[in-house]
Structure 1
Amino acid sequence: MDQDKVHVAIISSPGMGHLVPVLLLGHRLATHHGLGVTILAVTTQTSRVESQILASLTNSNHLNLIKIPSPDISNLLGPDDAVVTQLAIMMREARPGIRSAISAMNHPPHVLIVDLFSGDSLPIADEFKLQKYVFLPCNARFVALTMYLHVLDKEVKGQYVDQKEPLKIPGCVPVWGQDVPDPMLDRDNQQYLEYVRMGINFSTLSDGVLMNTWRDLDPASLDALRYNEILRSVVKVPVYDIGPLTREVNEADLEGNEVIKWLNKQPLESVLFVSFGSGGTLSAEQIIELAHGLEMSQQRFVWVIRPPVGSAKDGAFFTSGSGPDKPPDFLPEGFLDRTQKNGLIVPLWASQVNILNHQSIGGFLTHCGLNSVHESIKAGVPMIAWPLYSEQRLNATLLSEDVKVALRPSVLPAEKVVGREEIDKMVRSLMEGEEGKMLREKVKLLRESANQALSMNGSSYKSTCEFISCCKMKMK
């Protein structure tokens, strides 16, 4: 065993939105920085689609993957417990499995890295005398809000969504109540208490925080996390911007891919890609309005579609990728026939990175999950921000108001149906309007910034090196 080589173990909670960035972090640390990496993935029953994604990301000799079966928590949950509560309880109950996995490792790690929902596993590092870090696949504004939340909890009276003024976080752009992450929507819900606890754990139990972001996406929040005296008194630990870590185009998937074949026949930057992530779902009524809006716009589109649900609030987090793998029967009558020349419907799942990087893609209607946001920016594709749940409203505001690479509906899609006329207007504006041209120019500049950040002399590369140097110093 190389005495100077840093070995890390990274814990991932269930869900592709959590596992994908953990795998990307592990791959980056192994291939670009020479670390030994083991992924401890707490897994639920995965769908065929998720298994395919997992296989594509772990098909290398760089990562050692240990799957830890998720514990049975059915007797610990109430019928109305939200996703954050479920994940927090699941990851607490998974600690014996995590502890056993670390104990049985051939090369004991020097460093334990936990993800967003695994903060309660940080004390395990103390048992094995390991360094301990948190990896948050989130933007800097979300990190600042999360770690400052226990202060707001004491200062703010009543529900955050009812506040007349935005929430003030030292050094950061204020956050309006309507943009707060889901756990903050109801302070009487158990998931709010879990979320407050998470933020406290990150600063009190860890040696530092890694963030899947880069300086130019939100420099004010990053500077505040590092230098603002008031915020630093709460955050306490070092923060490292190490992103944006994203999946790369898989050349093997391009040949024979029916979507790619269709895109090859379309003009440059003429197609709108519509997808709501691995767990995003819409109501039946919203699907109908979206279909009519796309048809009215007369723009080319590729739409990855899932069956409707009664409520799109939490999406289909634990059932993502499931459902019938066939053309949907819940679209407006005659829609498929009327749009067959300029539209392509894809049931359940498509290779998002490959599609976004195709030269015919000119826009992305997205739920604003950060994996999707980063992939769109890295592909130089402007967006229509359609937030559904979690921290996606915060991401949507950052994209539309701060870096200005996205349009946004006038209503919150998770709260109210977006009508076909507004969808038509947004799609036309993005794909052929002057505003769309400006957004396209800005996102291509941001793409250059993201690539520069990850290059050998870039800010994210240097920040990762600082993290590794700190780990090596503590090993001596």
Structure 2
Amino acid sequence: MEDEIPPQIIVLVTPGMGHLIPVIEFAKRLIFHHDFLVTFLIPNDGSPIKAQEKLLNSLPKSINYMFLPPVNFDDLSDDVEVETRICLTFSRSLSSLRVALKDMVTTSRVVALVVDSFGTDAFDLAEELHLPHYIFITSSAMWLSFHLELPKLDATYSGEYKDMPEPLKLPGCVPLHGVNFVDPCQDRKNEGYKWLFKRKTQIYAVGPLIRTGEASDGSECLKWLDDQPGGSVLFISFGSGGTLSNEQLTELAIGLEMSEQRFLWVVRSPSDTAANAIYFSAQSVKDPFDFLPKGFLERTKGIGLVVSSWVPQIQILSHGSTGGFLTHCGWNSTLESIVHGVPLIGWPLYAEQKMNAVMLYDMKVALMPQFDENGLVRRKEIAQVVKTLMDGNGKEGMTVRNKMEELKHTTAAVLSENGSSTKSLCKVALKWKNP
């Protein structure tokens, strides 16, 4: 009789869009290909979640979600690291998670708990309820390799990692200098650093998991792209949470103008305090157009389009007129670029993005602009790297385009019916159905 009840997976996930999107794609594969039910349990701190709710409300009926009661952060300073906030959001939600999980285990056929990489504090609760438990990693295999090597490094090196004289050698990956470690490693005393030592279990490589399509609603930017020459447009977006400083925003705008290349720019209001100022809310508070250089929009009207609202990124990256992507190197955007074969300009901002950028540059699928001593990319550098990528005859740009095209075909192979990713997901799905 139990076999007639659909097996259910409970997923504990951060509300940040960069984590929520790949988990949703994972859930879709479970329900469409393996007949599971999925429920998201979402810890939060009461920050605005309209974008997240819109996304969640569009899901298939076999995917349910529930926001856990908001946790209180009145005891934290305003400048606390975002990784610390996320870790504490999970740990302070454990009591409400316990109630929700116990109820679901009692009333449905729960076969596994899958947690966000920040949520491993929930493992003790899963063991108490005799639930198999897994981590869903939204970052790269390089991040995982680094994560597994970190305990050894922590035990043998006592200084700050940014001062390490030699790069860290990672199995199967490019060596990594300390300045490019994930953000929590830049201060070994913060809560986020301690989180990196949470345990990992058996690994199933089920990615890349990206969105397969979005409703465009006659998007202005897609209509604009339809009128541009093939491969001529540079798409610029720093993700749902990334922000530039006022000065950097100005330098980017003028650099794009100097490059004389076509561009589609998703601009956000700047922040001089944090590169991830809108991580949770995924929306700008002020009109970003007010911060652009005077006359910029008029002077670039013939070759550029600047938008401040949501854009259908998948459709932009798959559009024939898109020839490059200036990106923050968030892993979702990176995978979406690879799947669609769009070469990159890497501009990392926070989290593990510097690590991703180093890897992409080493793979020769991305160009990297040079930051000055103040951490800024200046207008001349921006103009030069944009020209290099978008110039159809330049050797360096051609190399990046060719390498990305090769990687696109490799990705298609692992996602095919007989590909390694598909087989790996089948393996874990069978394990959950037949424990």
* Structure 2 length-normalised TM: 0.93
Deviation, structure 1 residue 290: 0.4
Deviation, structure 1 residue 63: 1.0
How far apart, in 2, do the equivalents of 1:115 and 1:327 lie?
A: 32
How far apart, in 2, do the equivalents of 1:265 and 1:119 lie?
A: 48
How far apart, in 1, do the equivalents of 2:177 and 2:372 lie?
A: 13
Mapped contact 1:249–1:357 kept (Cα < 8 A): no
Match of 1:425 in 2: 384
Match of 2:409 in 1: 448
In structure 2, the gaps of 5 or more residues are none
Q: Cα deviation per residue 1:12-40 (whole Å; 9 max; x = unaligned)? A: 01211111111111111111222221111
How far apart, in 2, do the equivalents of 1:337 and 1:380 lie?
A: 32
Mapped contact 1:159–1:185 kept (Cα < 8 A): yes
**Structure 1's 188 and 300: CA in aligned 2 closer, same or farther, altered over 3 A?**
same
Mapped contact 2:371–2:378 kept (Cα < 8 A): no
Mapped contact 1:327–1:346 kept (Cα < 8 A): no
Mapped contact 1:125–1:131 kept (Cα < 8 A): yes
SS in 2 for 1:111: strand
Deviation, structure 1 residue 266: 0.7
Deviation, structure 1 residue 116: 1.2
289, 292, 295: which one aligns with 1:334: 295
Q: Cα deviation per residue 1:171-206 (whole Å; 9 max; x = unaligned)? A: 5432211210001112233332233xxx3x323xxx
How far apart, in 2, do the equivalents of 1:79 and 1:335 lie?
A: 34
SS in 1 for 2:397: helix
Match of 1:81 in 2: 80
Mapped contact 2:164–2:178 kept (Cα < 8 A): yes
Check if 1:323 corresponds to 2:282. no
Deviation, structure 1 residue 444: 1.9
Deviation, structure 1 residue 71: 1.3
Match of 1:192 in 2: 193
Mapped contact 2:56–2:65 kept (Cα < 8 A): no
**Structure 1's 155 and 47: CA in aligned 2 closer, same or farther, altered over 3 A?**
same
How far apart, in 2, do the equivalents of 1:3 and 1:472 lie?
A: 12
Mapped contact 1:102–1:108 kept (Cα < 8 A): no
SS in 2 for 1:378: helix
Check if 1:239 corresponds to 2:203. yes
How far apart, in 1, do the equivalents of 2:172 and 2:290 lie?
A: 50
Match of 1:437 in 2: 398
Match of 1:182 in 2: 183
Deviation, structure 1 residue 50: 3.7
Between stretches 330-339 and 185-194, larger displacement belongs to 185-194
**Structure 1's 278 and 412: CA in aligned 2 closer, same or farther, altered over 3 A?**
farther
Mapped contact 2:267–2:288 kept (Cα < 8 A): no
How far apart, in 2, do the equivalents of 1:468 and 1:412 lie?
A: 48
Q: Cα deviation per residue 1:363-416 (whole Å; 9 max; x = unaligned)? A: 000000001101111121111000000000010011111x21110012279x61
In structure 1, the gaps of 5 or more residues are 209-237
Q: Cα deviation per residue 1:294-321 (whole Å; 9 max; x = unaligned)? A: 0011111111111111134444323321
How far apart, in 1, do the equivalents of 2:292 and 2:343 lie?
A: 26
Q: Percent identity?
A: 42
How far apart, in 2, do the equivalents of 1:50 and 1:296 lie?
A: 37
Match of 2:251 in 1: 289
Paired residues for 1:143-158 under 5 Å = 143-158=144-159
Deviation, structure 1 residue 153: 0.7
Match of 1:369 in 2: 330
How far apart, in 2, do the equivalents of 1:347 and 1:440 lie?
A: 28
How far apart, in 1, do the equivalents of 2:50 and 2:114 lie?
A: 28
* Structure 1 length-normalised TM: 0.86
Check if 1:202 corresponds to 2:199. yes
Structure 1 residue ranges, 4+ long, deviating more than 6 angstroms after superposition: none
Mapped contact 1:167–1:174 kept (Cα < 8 A): yes
**Structure 1's 37 and 190: CA in aligned 2 closer, same or farther, altered over 3 A?**
closer
SS in 2 for 1:113: strand
Mapped contact 2:270–2:288 kept (Cα < 8 A): no
Check if 1:125 corresponds to 2:87. no
Mapped contact 2:237–2:328 kept (Cα < 8 A): yes
Mapped contact 1:71–1:94 kept (Cα < 8 A): yes
Mapped contact 1:50–1:321 kept (Cα < 8 A): no
